[in-house]
Amino acid sequence: MKTTIFFVLFSLFVNCLEPTEAQRDVRIPPMISSIFPEKYYMPYIAGNRWNMVIYKCDQYSGIPEPTISWQYFLNGVLQHWSYGDHLQKSFNGSQLKLKYINPNEQFQCKATNIYGTALSTKIRIYQAEGASFNISVKSNPVTYTAKVGDPLLVPCLYNSEGIPEGTFFWKVKSENGEKSVPLEDRIFISENGSLVFSYVKLSDGLNKLYTCNIENKILNMVLYGSWTKLDIQGGSDVPDSPATLIYSTKNYTVAEYKKPFTMQCIFGGKPVPEVKWERPFSNQFSNRFSKNRNNEMIISSVMEDDEGVYKCTSDRKLGNPMTISFFIDVKGPPIWVKKPKSLLIAEGQDGVIHCDARPLKNEKPLQVPKWFKNGKSLTISPGGINGRTELSNDGKTLTIHDAQKKTDICNYQCSVSNDQGEIFADAAFNVILNTEVLVAPESQTIDKGEVVMFNIKAITDPLKEKVMTYTWMLNGRKIEFLDLYDIYLLQNYSLVVNTTGMDENRFQVVLGNYSVSINNGVEIVTRYASLMGYPMKDPVVSQSGMDLRWIALIVAVVLLFIIFILLLCVVFNRHGGDDYSVDKKERKAGHDPEKELADSGFHDLPRADDDPDKQKPDNVSISSTAKSMGSETDSMEEYSDADAGIPTSIYLPPPSSPRSTHILSLLPDSPPASCTTKLLMMKFSVRLVQQKMKKLRVGEKQKQISNIQRVQKFFPFSLSLLFFFNSFSFLFLFFFFFFFFFFCKKQKYLQDISCLSFNFLPRPSPSVMFPT
């Protein structure tokens, strides 16, 4: 027992591990396409041990090929095969062989392979038989007597009409031979086979022998009987007579749904009355209705709306009209609303099979449909769920959720019945693998003159490989390849777009969104790709997504700022150039240093030992013959001038310098009387010059500080611009500090020049020469 359970579990485990590649084979459950009638009449073949059914079960399909067998039902109950049955019936093969026929038995064809079992509709076998008559009547015919002008009905006396019901006709035998009774305006054959005369003539008698004939078309046989003679009394003239009813359809008659039906109203009288017909709810007759010789109304295929009361009325001038009414009840098996149909779906989809039927109008409600799987009752009740199989509450819809190829391929059957019969349908349920896209088209960019290709490769279930199609679309419209030379398909269904030689209009047409739909008849898989042209050079978009026009605007703003800084430098340079203003506080106090320096100048005093006739030298001259001030350093030392910081030589800028005031204009006009006095005056003059120049330098320093403050005012504004243009902060910072330091350096340079015009610097320079 444990071993059996182990092998069962192991087989289930292996089945679950079945890979997809192992399922790439063609699997088709069996299907039976042979059509079986509800009733079949088999002729008797003498001399054969087994009678062979002509309607064979030989139209079927399935992969692998199914085997055919039969099962039978007795009074609607499935019977199990037994040894005794084998002696009377052959159930193997596409032909059903029967030795004995039981009309209470029904037979059903089965087609079976490893994936399912298909069932045909049930068929009932009848043995065809001809009609039977009483032979003893032949020697003693029945005689009917009537007067000329009277109506007459001659019945067909038979024991059995035959199986199936045959067709009636009459023959008459006279001295001139035997022939069929001519059906004139006054002679009819009723639906039960009677011969009807609206009125008789003298010529209808005269020792004529009438016989009733019944034809069995299955047996291709005509049997006759009911030998009859007519005794007609009276003269040759036929008097007129009022209308009388001879034969009509019964007051209540059942008409089978979708079967032919005939109604009759036969009136007697001379002249023969004409008949008018009325149908329920309408006097209009469709093309399914037809009149036969005015006294018959034939319905080719009875429908539900044909049920009701019908009327036939005689219409003649002699006598009152006569009206006959009868009710036609339409009955039949249930009618399909949604018949089960074979279903083919892809893995993962839900399979839905309907079994919805209804009764005919005014009939009893139907019971819940019966479901079968591979010929066996489905163990699920309405509203229930068994695994992934679900049955609706009304039992009319079966749903298989998340269908799988390896487990769900089978056959489902459904039957609905009532007291008039049964309807049955078989549905093959098949599942295939999903379509798999191995290579999908990718979006591309193209320049005019280039060639691009959209690759596509897909595989599907082997059952649908030959019918799989590829449909390419451009911007939602199907691409027709017949007249196109620049867009075409390869043998592997890849799409090629060749823009060589295209003009601009055509090039713009082939750009857009492409899609390819792969259809195998079960599912449609779509993939998308776009074909775009390279962007135009104007406008150009940077990689960060910013338009270069904005970049150009930012650069222009930066350049304007730089130009503004340069203009400031130029303005400040011009303002501090040739004219250096002195201290503002000194001027506010009412002093004018330049005027005071000019008014307090020293006058040259002649020496006592100088020759008055000798030309007086200049106050200060720079020449090679003058005695240097450095030669009299011994005279200067006694005044402790070394401590005062008096240099031994003085650098005098040239008089043409625009940056300074010539020092000679500040010296006394006349030299002192003695050298010592002259030196003292010289020392005093130098100190006076240093005091004045100190004031000038203070003013220059304040001017420099004012310029730096102006620059500092621009610094926050520059930082705000730096924050705004963060993408170019490094460049902006570089230019800003470059011109900032350049400006400061420029200001410092200017200040150095002005200072050097008045300071004594220890660098090689021409000496201030004094005459000895």
How long a stretch of residues is the chain? Answer: 772
Residue 395 sits at the vertex; the CA angle it makes with 392 and 399, to the nearest 5 degrees, is 45
Higher-scoring residue by pLDDT: 756, 310: 310
Question: Which secondary structure element, helix H or strand E, spans residue 586, and what is its range?
Answer: helix 584-588
Q: 491-528 in b/e burial notation, b at 16+ Cβ within 10 A? A: eebbbebbbeebeeeebeebbeebbbebbbebbebebe
Give dist(CA 272, CA 261) in Å, integer: 24
Confidence of residue 308 (pLDDT cuts 50, 70, 90): very high
Tell me the two tokens of residue 585.
Answer: 């506080």
pLDDT score recorded for residue 139: 81
Terminal Cα-to-Cα distance of the chain (whole angstroms): 148
pLDDT digits (tens, 9 = 90+) for 10-67: 444 444 445 566 678 999 999 999 888 888 888 766 555 555 566 788 889 999 999 9
Instruction: Please say if the pLDDT value at position 447 is more than 70.
Output: yes
To the nearest 10°, report the CA torsion of 701, 707, 709, 713. 180
The CATH architecture that domain 335-432 belongs to is Sandwich (2.60)
**DSSP conformation class of 46:** T
* Sheet of 495-498, strands arranged across: 451-454, 495-498, 487-489
Domain 135-331 has CATH 2.60.40.10: yes
Give the rounded distance of the alpha carbon of 757 from its chain centre.
91
For residues 363 and 341, is the Cβ–Cβ distance under 8 A? no
Residue type, 37: P
Give dist(CA 562, CA 714) in Å, integer: 12
Tell me the two tokens of residue 334.
Answer: 């249930």
- Of 495, 513, 348, which is closest to residue 436 (Cα–Cα)? 348
Over residues 679-697, the mean pLDDT reads: 65
Beta strand spans in 56-131 (E): 60-63, 67-74, 77-78, 89-90, 97-98, 105-113, 116-119, 123-127
Instruction: Please say if the pLDDT value at position 88 is more than 90.
Output: no
Tell me the two tokens of residue 582.
Answer: 């002195």
- Give me the residue label for tokens 């893995």: 347
The contacts of residue 407 (CB under 8 Å, 6+ apart) are none
3 state DSSP class of 402: coil
pLDDT score recorded for residue 658: 44
Q: What is the CATH number of domain 436-533?
A: 2.60.40.10
CATH 2.60.40.10-classified regions of the chain: 26-127, 135-331, 335-432, 436-533
The contacts of residue 215 (CB under 8 Å, 6+ apart) are 166, 167, 169, 221, 222
pLDDT score recorded for residue 331: 95
Give the rounded distance of the alpha carbon of 590 from its chain centre.
97
Confidence of residue 553 (pLDDT cuts 50, 70, 90): confident
pLDDT digits (tens, 9 = 90+) for 639-653: 344 444 444 444 444
Higher-scoring residue by pLDDT: 714, 172: 172
- Give me the residue label for tokens 């691009």: 452
**DSSP conformation class of 160:** B
Tell me the two tokens of residue 419.
Answer: 């007291």
Q: Cα dist. 400→19, 62, 85, 348, 521 in Å?
A: 22, 21, 38, 10, 20
For residues 184 and 174, is the Cβ–Cβ distance under 8 A? no
Which CATH number does the domain 26-127 belong to among 3.40.50.11290, 3.30.70.360, 2.60.40.10, 1.20.210.10? 2.60.40.10
pTM, whole model, 2 decimals? 0.63
Give dist(CA 369, CA 151) in Å, integer: 54
Instruction: Please say if the pLDDT value at position 258 is more than 50.
Output: yes
Higher-scoring residue by pLDDT: 559, 306: 306
